[in-house]
Amino acid sequence: MAIVKKITDELKAKHKKKYDYYMLRGILPVVRKWPKRTKIAYTSEQKEAQAVFGIISKSTRKIKGRVLEDWINQSFGKRSRWQDTFRGSGMKYWGKYREIPPILLDYQIKWHTPNPELKLLLQKIDAKYGKRETEEIYTTGIIDIADIYEYRKKLWAWICDIKGLRILA
C-alpha cells in the first residue's frame, strides 16, 4: 500500500485490474496491488464434477422412509449433516469410477432363520445427462451373520451385492 497525492479517473483507467485506488479511512488516498482472486474454474473435468455434485445434491430429496431415518440416525452427534456425508460419499465414488453410484431408495430385510436376505430398491442415474435410468430391485442373497459381525466398517456407507456393485446407501 502506498500513499498517492490525488486519485484521478486517468490513473484508475490506466491501471485497471492491476492497482486498486481507494480512500483509506475516507481521508487518505492510497494505492495497492489489485487483489488476486481465483479465476472461475472451467476445465472440462471441473465442469463435470460440478454437474455431478448438483445431481447428487438433488437426489437427497428422493431418499425417504427407513433409509432417511438411518441416514439421520448415523449422523446424530456429528458435526456434519447427513446430506454432507451423502454428497461426500457420492463424490468420492464418482472420483474413483467416473459414474454416479446407484442410490438406495428403500430396502427390505427378510429373515431366513438364522440369516437375513436384503432386497434393495436402487435408482441409477446417468452422469452425462442427469436423467434417471432405472429403478431396479436387487437381492443380495442370504448373508451369513458371522460375516456381518466380522466386518468392521459401518454397513450404512456402502453395501456390496453379489456382482460387487457399490451402492450409496
SS3 for 36-75 is: CCCCCCCCHHHHHHHHHHHHHHHHHHHCCHHHHHHHHHHH
What percentage of the chain exceeds 90 in pLDDT?
2
pTM of the predicted model over 0.75: no
* Rounded-to-integer distance, Cα 70 and Cα 106, Å: 11
4 band by pLDDT with thresholds 50, 70 and 90: confident
CA torsion angle 161 165 168 169 (round to 10): 0
**pLDDT digit string, tens, across residues 156-169:** 444 554 455 566 65
Q: How far is CA 164 from the centre of its chain?
A: 22
Asked if 7 and 30 count as a contact pair (C-beta separation under 8 A), the reply is no
Pairwise pLDDT comparison (115 vs 64), residue with the higher score = 64
Lowest mean pLDDT across 62-71, 75-84, 106-115, 139-148: 139-148
Asked if 125 and 100 count as a contact pair (C-beta separation under 8 A), the reply is yes
User: How many CA atoms within 13 Å lie on the side-chain side of 133?
Assistant: 14
**pLDDT digit string, tens, across residues 123-140:** 888 767 666 667 777 676
Is the bond preceding 114 in cis, omega lying within 30 degrees of 0? yes
